[in-house]
Amino acid sequence: MQQAKPYLTPNEVAALLMVAPGTVRVWSEKGVLRAQTTAGGHRRYAREDIERFVRERQAVPEGGVLRVLIVDDDPAVARYLDAWLGGLDGIVVATAADGFAAGRQINAFKPDVVLLDLMMPGLDGFRVCRTIKGDAATRHLRVVAVTGQPTAENVARILAAGAEACLAKPIDEEALLAAIRAPGTGSGHAG
């Protein structure tokens, strides 16, 4: 029986946690995932530090199901995300067609993650995010923004409002799945 390696490389940690190696680097730079530095300047991660990190920042609740609320005014996008994410093991989805419906769904569905379009009529994604993060009852919710207009200004505004990430449309499925499954980091990117 082969014994597990006591230290893992950033790429091994990324594969283990199902995130991009860049996400592991950000976690290390922010000090949320402890790393050792080799004499050659490379990061290595102790297994016990990785296990502690996962326990502290568990993305999937103890019931093993991640509840994702999709908020998008484009019916085709909402249907696509609903079918795709809802077809994955361990993910349950609900949808809302606008910011007002999102508020009702947050109370009724009790999501873990809100997948939020930015450009919607009436109550846009920026206001929805600020409302979620400004309320003591909902500020714990993770917000991942998606937009067809990923300008530097829009990305900065939604991250400042409290979103963890801002992803570009058309949606990169791998990046989106990593973002909604990743432990909350508060670091965002446009992709």
Domain boundaries, the chain: 7-56, 66-181
Best-predicted range by mean pLDDT (59-63, 77-81, 97-101, 113-117): 113-117
CA 92-176-142 angle, to 5 degrees, is 65
Instruction: Reply yes or no on whether the pLDDT at 134 is more than 90.
Output: yes
**The whole model's pTM is what?**
0.65
Question: What is the per-residue pLDDT across 19-44, written as a single tens digit (0 to 9) for each?
Answer: 667 667 777 776 778 889 889 988 99
Which CATH fold would you assign to the domain 7-56?
Multidrug-efflux Transporter Regulator; Chain: A; Domain 2 (1.10.1660)
SS3 call for 11? helix
Taking a C-beta distance cutoff of 8 angstroms, is the pair 107, 150 a contact? no
The confidence score (pLDDT) of residue 138 equals 93
Question: What is the per-residue pLDDT across 76-106, written as a single tens digit (0 to 9) for each?
Answer: 999 999 888 888 878 889 999 999 999 999 9
User: Under CATH, which number does the domain 66-181 receive?
Assistant: 3.40.50.2300
Measure the CA–CA gap between 113 and 131, rounded to whole angstroms. 15
